[in-house]
């Protein structure tokens, strides 16, 4: 599942800090309230001739551009600009770690119509235009996240100073919520950093660190973070930033600090080249093609961003700003944006520990098995300062695993997110070994050994003989029921399932599985460890395949049938990616491993019977026998050659497919039907998991499907998909497939209930 | 006598260790008159000067320890090369130590350790730094190619190796300007430290100016008597430091920040400069010194090394170490008559003074109940400091200790404290700090037996092994 969604990757990396969940109060209430009450979000102070405007949302860890904040900001701006003694101003946040994290999402969602959202956008545009055209210079002093609306505010200022704090990131993440920078961002950013960089920022939504921002011309000056002095480091750093910013503001007012920055030769060349219309057209075209290729046209926001930028540059600012506000309104009403925002909210929810604080913090974690999984788990654990023991049975296995951890960290050194010194000091916490030495100090053991119940039992017994009584035993399995594994345990309350996804350092999801014997504290501890590892966590009940594997299995069974019916792997991939899956079904099978798929299909087939049928498991088994185990063995549905990006269909598989050939049924074999056959089986199984109580709630179901299995993010997950597409339509399609294939397409009761009563929805 | 009225720091069952005398070459801005020398040449100068001034019979010197930071590869055990060249006996073992800016402090405390352990009675310690020439290496790629070339057997192999050389191979590798662990340069760190303590540019410039003025005064009054003249081959005799330049606040104010641009406060004028120079001291057990008829200049009583976080507390060592060494000896700030702190940057000194005066810092960073307390400025670096006299990294420690002894004698004090952060300029990993307590006796009196370094059995064994290694080294050296 290596490539499940670059989009997802970006979405998840930065999203936690981006927007806050504020209960949206209606604009009118605030308008009245703020005129009567003292200001709570924005304050200012005048030092000699410099006004220092401080932002601090008292109700949240981060500042968001909420109605109240905007209201107060407008008032403060009026007072500052109306005061003749003020010659310049500094805009700064009093919060450590956050300048402005963006606009208040709930404020946008509360609007209801595209027109209202558009007018929200044009109000924002006006406010920032006023900042841009202010007669006195305004300096943005940035410490912490400066994202979305916060960045748009900052680039409307005349000068930007940022701290070199690791928390200081700048970016326009709107695209990841299916939106666009709607307060002048699409118009100002290209002017500030050039067309290519602006497109890159707005279309990927990625975070930019302060040093990079300086190089790009996004900020004008950098300020160091300080250590402890006569005050705490964070407090003093903000104070220092303010002192420097005040100096610059005064300098700008006195014309001692030059306003126009000197451009590098490269920048000059780029500017010159971009002066030609045909060059610009070429850029638009290239960007357009790239976006189309990556989104398959399923995400409207990137196209609208290109449209707005183009309007501004080719037809002038009036047209640009108009396009921006109108498109912003339109996008806010799209189902894609709702789906992405839903995922964002879900992700925030899945980053919390609903089981409370565990009795003991896990300070030493031992991992059994230094394979891909084990080493991956070690990597995401050791870099969080947890003492990590990596145990394997052979020197070769251990050495490979340790190399993997080293490489993972070293890649970060190459990307400069880590220094080589930090890498070494992180690695000093990792112990590789072949015996159980040190396990007496372990607070948690995660086993990642071969998926065989007997081996798991043997390991469990060996481990329980050496670990302390409080130590938790977590098993990393993708299909074996935890209660079967726990059957061999002397203390089943300490046994839990932790299902990681490969590659562990890239995949965000962690599926935690509890049995009815697992204690609450054990669960709380597992969730705490997962959160520390940076995971998005769903906690599900025990059962064959738990939640994620169980949803994937019917879809893969269907995919095998599709292959047997004569659709070649490439076509199958095109159909699945065309529906919005980041990775095609055939490629996915190769990534997961054909042997794993066969194993799972067989196990779950036994557990669930004919309902999990479809494709012939023998086909997968034959592939495994021939050594076509997927990417790891170099051959699967495709042939993988090191260093070669292009992949060709494995010619030998055609012969196998021929052997298992089935005749496609003409009434259910159109491209669209094939897509729906794959998706409806997935969705139905997800809903069934909720019905059976495997899933605790639909939110976790959506998050698990999108972050673990690559369910199309633009659809927001199976449950949101049922809501938006309509349960009745899904049932209708399934009934049609049911006529041909039988109970594999029988909709579950919960889905039928939703189909019957359209007012029933999984998400409000 | 004073002896009975005052506290004695002598400890039972520990030998008294004394500083007989100390000397140094003039400290020169690098790239000036010393520029064509090699590091061991300067070391030789200081060692020869010590021999001449003390008249110590060279055959009674048991050991020589020398510090250096930037090593010249040709003379990696610079102690041995300098000692042989200075006319010390070839039977006297010599070894080199390194600990960034406190390398010669390490040399001295190692000497104290050897004497306390009963291994030696007479030890020469010192340090040299030569910044006029630093090793600039071929790139790693080029080095690899050249080493492979050495091993290549056939012409074909050699040609193919030569053919693999690209433009990239030719980029030289300069000595790192940054801290290895944090990738931050010392000046940058000093600037951040100054900012963290809210030290202004004016405060820094004023402190730097004070250093230069006091150094000039000391120079004019002939107080810098630890200097011995140095004859540069083919050039003049050098007999004075050349970095002392008292200017004006206006002049200093004109300089642009050197590290943090454009809003930084550390400039070339309020930082110590790159310096060439060497120093040496003669340390003996008290018994031996008296037996030889010397009148030692000071007791070396106690010392402590501390380490902190190399990023945010890189240069704050003196604040941490000073109270420790005082408490260890049962003294307070008020008991101290002479303070000599190494001045890496004016901002660093002022930041340390502010830290010592801060209850917040003491409580939150040092785990103390209340602040350390600030040394009175009239006792503090009154003959100038590293900012004005110069800072040859590994030679500064001995200068500080000798200066304390001379100031105690001149000013009639009893206790002195030396503190130095391992900081200073360019190259290394200075997270150690050193403070040394020296006690001088104007009326030299016989103290009881005393303290320092209680070496337990393992330590003794390792010292023994070390000596064996030295002998081996000597024989190896002869082969060279």
- The per-residue pLDDT for range A567-618, each reduced to its tens digit, is 999 999 999 999 999 999 999 899 888 988 898 898 899 999 999 988 899 9
Taking CB atoms and an 8 Å cutoff, what residues of chain A touch B260? 224
Which residue shows structure tokens 């997935």?
Answer: A682
Q: Provide the β-strand partners of residue A52.
A: A45, A90
Closest residue by Cα to residue A145 from A167, A160, A173: A167
- pLDDT beyond 90 at B475: no
B119 is written with which tokens?
């291994």
- The per-residue pLDDT for range B116-125, each reduced to its tens digit, is 999 999 999 9
Instruction: With beta carbons less than 8 A apart as the criterion, state whether A637 and A649 touch.
Output: yes
Residue of A161, A228, A233, A416 to mutate for B, most B C-beta atoms under 10 A: A228
Kindly indicate the confidence band of residue B15, based on its pLDDT and cuts at 50, 70 and 90.
confident
When pLDDT is averaged across residues B347-362 and rounded to a whole number, the result is: 95
Planar angle of CA A45, A48, A50, nearest 5 degrees = 60
Closest residue by Cα to residue B385 from B336, B357, B421, B334: B421
Q: How far is CA A227 from its chain centroid?
A: 32
Residue of A226, A230, A256 to mutate for B, most B C-beta atoms under 10 A: A230
A129, A152, A511, A558: the catalytic one is A511
Q: Give the nearest chain A residue to B265 (CA atoms).
A: A244
Instruction: With beta carbons less than 8 A apart as the criterion, state whether A52 and A246 touch.
Output: yes
- The per-residue pLDDT for range B428-456, each reduced to its tens digit, is 222 233 334 443 333 332 222 122 221 11
Closest residue by Cα to residue A448 from A484, A382, A501, A404: A501
**Pairwise CA distance, residues A289 & A296, whole Å:** 10
**What length is written for chain B?**
480
Closest residue by Cα to residue A698 from A345, A189, A381, A389: A345
**Pairwise CA distance, residues A654 & A634, whole Å:** 17
- The per-residue pLDDT for range A354-406, each reduced to its tens digit, is 999 999 999 999 999 999 999 999 999 999 999 999 999 999 999 999 999 99
Q: Judged by CB atoms within 8 Å, which residues 405-424 of A form the interface with B?
A: 419, 421
Contact: A229, B355; criterion CB under 8 Å: yes
Residue A273 pLDDT? 84
Instruction: With beta carbons less than 8 A apart as the criterion, state whether B272 and B381 touch.
Output: no
Closest residue by Cα to residue A77 from A131, A125, A30: A131
Residue of B263, B265, B317, B358 to mutate for A, most A C-beta atoms under 10 A: B263
- pLDDT beyond 90 at B462: no
Q: Among B181, B197, B309, select the one facing A229 at the smallest CB separation.
A: B197
- pLDDT beyond 70 at B473: no
- CA torsion sign for A248, A252, A254, A255 is positive
Closest residue by Cα to residue A498 from A537, A462, A450, A458: A537
- Phi first, then psi: what are they for A380, rounded to 5°? -80, -10
Contact: A221, B182; criterion CB under 8 Å: no
Q: Is A236 on the interface with B (CB under 8 A)?
A: yes
**Pairwise CA distance, residues A370 & B176, whole Å:** 37
Taking CB atoms and an 8 Å cutoff, what residues of chain B touch A247? 263
Residue A15 pLDDT? 37
Taking CB atoms and an 8 Å cutoff, what residues of chain B touch A233? 196, 312
Percent of chain A clearing pLDDT 90 (strictly above): 80
**Pairwise CA distance, residues A161 & A168, whole Å:** 11
Percent of chain B clearing pLDDT 90 (strictly above): 56
Taking CB atoms and an 8 Å cutoff, what residues of chain B touch A244? 263
When pLDDT is averaged across residues A176-195 and rounded to a whole number, the result is: 94
When pLDDT is averaged across residues A13-27 and rounded to a whole number, the result is: 37
Q: What does each C-alpha distance from A362 to A350, A369, A455, A510, B86 come to in angstroms? A: 20, 19, 26, 17, 61
Q: Is A221 on the interface with B (CB under 8 A)?
A: yes
Q: Are strands B275-285 and B28-29 parallel, antiparallel or unpaired?
A: antiparallel
In chain B, the largest separation of any two C-alpha atoms, in whole Å, equals 84
Q: What does each C-alpha distance from A740 to A250, A557, B30, B275, B443 come to in angstroms? A: 77, 16, 91, 90, 113
**Pairwise CA distance, residues B39 & A309, whole Å:** 63
Kindly indicate the confidence band of residue B460, based on its pLDDT and cuts at 50, 70 and 90.
very low
**Pairwise CA distance, residues A199 & B201, whole Å:** 42
**Which segment of A258-272, A453-467, A694-708, B360-374 scores lowest on mean pLDDT?**
A258-272
- Residue B444, min C-alpha distance to chain A (Å): 43
Q: Among B260, B311, B360, select the one facing A227 at the smallest CB separation.
A: B311
Q: Is A244 on the interface with B (CB under 8 A)?
A: yes
Instruction: With beta carbons less than 8 A apart as the criterion, state whether A150 and A157 touch.
Output: no
H/E element, A550: helix A548-564
Contact: A224, B309; criterion CB under 8 Å: no
Contact: B312, A221; criterion CB under 8 Å: no
Q: Is B180 on the interface with A (CB under 8 A)?
A: yes
Which residue shows structure tokens 């200022």?
Answer: A157
Planar angle of CA B297, B298, B301, nearest 5 degrees = 165
**Pairwise CA distance, residues A42 & A519, whole Å:** 47
Q: Among B181, B192, B360, select the one facing A230 at the smallest CB separation.
A: B360
Cis status, amide bond into A239, omega within 30 of 0: no
DSSP label at residue B255: P
ipTM metric: 0.84
Contact: A244, B263; criterion CB under 8 Å: yes
- The per-residue pLDDT for range A232-279, each reduced to its tens digit, is 999 999 999 999 999 999 999 998 888 766 677 877 888 888 888 888
Q: Give the nearest chain B residue to A422 (CA atoms).
A: B181
Cis status, amide bond into A322, omega within 30 of 0: no
A431 is written with which tokens?
């112990």
Which residue shows structure tokens 């962690």?
Answer: A510
Q: Is A224 on the interface with B (CB under 8 A)?
A: yes
Instruction: With beta carbons less than 8 A apart as the criterion, state whether A362 and A527 touch.
Output: no
Contact: B312, A233; criterion CB under 8 Å: yes
Q: Which residues of A182-203 are buried (b: 16+ CB within 10 A; e: fewer)?
A: bbbbbbbbbeebbbebbbbbbb
Q: Provide the β-strand partners of residue A138.
A: A89
Instruction: With beta carbons less than 8 A apart as the criterion, state whether A762 and A720 touch.
Output: yes
**Pairwise CA distance, residues A343 & A207, whole Å:** 19
Mean pLDDT of chain B: 83
Instruction: With beta carbons less than 8 A apart as the criterion, state whether B435 and B322 touch.
Output: yes
pTM across the whole model: 0.86
Mean pLDDT of chain A: 91
Which residue shows structure tokens 């192999």?
Answer: B157
> In this structure, how many other beta carbons lie within 10 angstroms of the beta carbon of residue A670?
10
Contact: B195, A248; criterion CB under 8 Å: no
- The per-residue pLDDT for range A677-689, each reduced to its tens digit, is 999 999 999 999 9
Query: Can you point out the beta strands (E) in B228-363?
Result: 230-231, 237-238, 275-285, 298-307, 338-341
Q: Provide the β-strand partners of residue B420.
A: B434
Q: How far is CA B379 from its chain centroid?
A: 21
- Residue A506, min C-alpha distance to chain B (Å): 27
Q: Judged by CB atoms within 8 Å, which residues 188-247 of B form the interface with A?
A: 188, 191-193, 195-198
- Residue B449, min C-alpha distance to chain A (Å): 42
Q: Residue A167 burial by CB count (10 A; 0-12/13-18/19+): exposed, middle or buried? A: middle
Taking CB atoms and an 8 Å cutoff, what residues of chain B touch A224? 188, 191-192, 195, 260
Kindly give, in sequence order, each residue whose CB lies less than 8 Å from that of residue B79, ignoring residues fewer than 6 positions away. Answer: B43, B64, B65, B66, B94, B95, B96
CA-derived radius of gyration, chain B: 23
Q: Which residues of B are catalytic?
A: 101, 421
């Amino acid at each position: 599942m290596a490539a499940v969604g670059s989009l997802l990757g970006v979405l998840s990396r930065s999203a936690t800090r981006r927007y806050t969940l504020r209960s949206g109060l209606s604009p009118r209430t605030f308008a009245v309230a703020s005129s009567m009450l003292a200001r709570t979000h924005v304050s200012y102070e005048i030092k000699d001739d410099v006004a220092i405007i401080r932002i601090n949302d008292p109700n949240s860890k981060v500042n968001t551009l909420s109605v109240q904040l905007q209201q107060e900001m407008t008032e403060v701006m009026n007072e500052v600009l109306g005061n003749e003694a003020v010659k310049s101003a500094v805009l700064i946040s009093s919060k450590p770690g956050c300048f402005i994290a963006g606009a208040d999402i709930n404020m946008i969602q509360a609007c209801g119509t595209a027109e209202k959202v558009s007018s929200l956008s044009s109000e924002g545009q006006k406010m920032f235009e006023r900042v841009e055209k202010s007669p006195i210079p305004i300096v943005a002093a940035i410490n912490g996240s400066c994202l979305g609306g916060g960045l748009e505010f900052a680039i409307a200022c005349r000068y930007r100073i940022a701290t070199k704090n690791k928390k200081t990131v700048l970016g326009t993440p709107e695209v990841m919520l299916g939106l666009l920078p709607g307060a002048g961002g699409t118009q100002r950013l290209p002017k500030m950093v050039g067309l290519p960089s602006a497109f890159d920022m707005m279309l990927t939504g990625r975070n930019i660190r302060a040093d990079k921002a300086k190089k790009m011309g996004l900020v004008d000056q950098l300020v160091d973070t300080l250590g402890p002095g006569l005050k705490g480091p964070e407090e003093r750093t903000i104070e220092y930033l303010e002192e420097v910013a005040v100096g610059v503001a005064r300098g700008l007012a006195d014309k001692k600090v030059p306003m126009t920055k000197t451009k590098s030769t490269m920048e000059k060349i780029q500017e010159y080249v971009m002066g030609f219309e045909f060059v610009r057209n070429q850029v638009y075209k290239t960007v357009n093609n790239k976006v189309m290729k990556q989104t398959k046209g399923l995400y409207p926001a990137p196209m609208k961003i290109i449209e707005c930028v183009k309007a501004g540059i080719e037809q002038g600012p009036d047209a640009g700003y108009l396009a921006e506000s109108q498109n912003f309104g339109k996008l806010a009403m799209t189902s894609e944006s709702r789906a992405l925002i839903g995922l964002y909210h879900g992700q925030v929810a899945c980053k919390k520990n609903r089981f409370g604080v565990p009795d003991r913090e896990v300070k030493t974690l031992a991992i059994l098995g230094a394979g891909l999984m084990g080493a991956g788990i070690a990597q995401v654990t050791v870099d969080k300062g947890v003492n990590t023991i990596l145990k394997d049975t052979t020197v070769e296995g251990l050495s490979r695993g340790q190399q993997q951890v080293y490489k993972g960290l070293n890649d970060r050194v190459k990307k400069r997110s880590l220094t080589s010194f930090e890498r070494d000091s992180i690695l000093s916490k990792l112990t590789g070994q072949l015996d159980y030495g040190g396990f007496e100090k372990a607070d948690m053991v995660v086993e990642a050994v071969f998926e065989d119940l007997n081996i798991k039992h043997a390991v469990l017994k060996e481990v329980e003989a050496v670990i302390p009584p409080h130590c938790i035993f977590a098993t990393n399995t993708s299909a074996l029921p935890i209660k079967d594994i726990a059957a061999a345990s002397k203390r089943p309350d300490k046994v839990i399932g932790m299902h990681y996804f490969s590659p562990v350092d890239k995949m965000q999801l962690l599926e935690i599985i509890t049995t009815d014997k697992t204690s609450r504290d054990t669960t709380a501890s597992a969730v705490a460890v997962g959160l520390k590892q940076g995971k998005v966590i769903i906690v599900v009940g025990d059962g064959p395949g738990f939640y994620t594997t169980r949803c994937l299995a019917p879809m893969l069974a269907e995919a095998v049938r599709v292959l047997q019916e004569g659709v070649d792997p490439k076509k199958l991939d095109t159909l699945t990616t065309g529906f919005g899956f980041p990775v095609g079904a055939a490629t996915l099978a190769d990534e997961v491993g054909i042997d794993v798929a066969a194993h799972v299909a067989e196990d779950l087939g036994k557990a669930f019977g004919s309902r999990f049928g479809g494709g012939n498991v023998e086909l997968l088994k034959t592939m495994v026998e021939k050594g076509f185990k997927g990417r790891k063995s170099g051959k699967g549905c495709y042939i993988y050659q090191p260093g070669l990006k292009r992949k060709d269909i494995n010619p030998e598989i055609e012969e196998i497919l021929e052997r298992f050939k089935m005749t496609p049924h003409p009434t259910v074999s159109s491209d669209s039907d094939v897509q729906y056959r794959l998706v409806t089986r997935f969705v139905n199984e997800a809903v069934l998991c909720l019905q059976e109580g495997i899933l605790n709630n639909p939110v976790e179901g959506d998050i698990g499907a999108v972050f673990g299995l690559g369910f199309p993010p633009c659809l927001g997950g199976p449950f949101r998909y049922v809501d938006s597409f309509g349960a009745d339509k899904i049932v209708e399609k399934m009934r049609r497939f049911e006529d041909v294939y039988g109970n594999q397409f029988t909709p579950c009761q919960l889905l039928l209930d939703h189909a019957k009563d359209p007012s029933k929805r999984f998400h409000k | 006598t004073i002896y009975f009225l005052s506290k004695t720091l002598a400890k039972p069952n520990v030998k008294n260790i004394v500083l007989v005398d100390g000397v140094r070459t003039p400290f020169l801005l690098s790239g000036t008159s010393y520029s064509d020398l090699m590091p061991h040449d300067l070391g030789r100068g200081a060692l020869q000067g010590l021999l001449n001034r003390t008249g110590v019979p060279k055959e009674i010197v048991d050991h020589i320890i020398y510090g250096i930071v930037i090593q010249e590869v040709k003379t990696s055990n610079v102690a041995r090369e300098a000692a042989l060249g200075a006319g010390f006996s070839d039977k006297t073992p010599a070894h080199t130590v390194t600990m960034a800016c406190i390398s010669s402090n390490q040399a001295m405390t190692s000497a104290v350790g050897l004497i306390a352990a009963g291994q030696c009675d007479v030890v020469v310690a010192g340090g040299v730094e030569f910044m006029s020439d630093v090793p600039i290496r071929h790139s790693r790629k080029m080095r690899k190619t050249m080493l492979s070339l050495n091993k290549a057997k056939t012409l074909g192999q050699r040609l193919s190796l030569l053919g693999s050389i690209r433009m990239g191979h030719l980029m030289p590798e300069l000595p790192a300007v940054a801290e290895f662990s944090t990738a931050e340069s010392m000046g940058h760190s000093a600037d951040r430290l100054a900012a963290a303590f809210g030290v202004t540019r004016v405060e820094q410039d004023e402190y730097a100016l004070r250093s230069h003025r006091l150094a000039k005064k000391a120079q004019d009054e002939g107080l810098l008597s630890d200097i011995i003249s140095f004859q540069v081959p083919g050039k003049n005799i050098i007999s004075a430091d050349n970095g002392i330049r008292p200017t004006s606040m206006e002049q200093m104010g004109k300089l642009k920040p050197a590290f943090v641009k454009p809003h930084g406060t550390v400039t070339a004028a309020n930082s110590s400069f790159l310096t060439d120079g060497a120093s040496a001291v003669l340390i003996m057990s008290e018994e031996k010194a008296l037996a030889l008829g010397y009148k030692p200049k000071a007791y070396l009583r106690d010392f402590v090394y501390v380490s902190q976080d190399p990023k945010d507390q890189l240069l704050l060592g003196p604040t941490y170490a000073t109270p420790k060494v005082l408490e260890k000896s049962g003294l307070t700030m008020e008991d101290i008559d002479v303070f000599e702190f190494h001045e890496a940057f004016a901002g660093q000194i002022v930041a340390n003074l502010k830290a010592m005066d801060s209850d917040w810092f003491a409580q939150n960073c040092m785990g103390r109940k209340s602040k350390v307390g600030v040394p009175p400025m009239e006792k503090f670096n009154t003959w100038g400091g590293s900012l004005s006299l110069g800072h040859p990294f590994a030679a500064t420690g001995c200068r500080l200790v000798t200066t304390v002894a001379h100031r105690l004698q001149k000013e009639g004090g009893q206790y002195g404290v030396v503190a130095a952060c391992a900081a200073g300029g360019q190259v290394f990993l200075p997270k150690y700090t050193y403070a040394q307590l020296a006690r001088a006796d104007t009326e030299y009196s016989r103290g009881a037996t005393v303290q320092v370094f209680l070496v337990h059995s393992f330590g003794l064994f390792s010292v023994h092994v070390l000596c064996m290694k030295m002998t081996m080294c000597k024989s190896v050296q002869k082969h060279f």
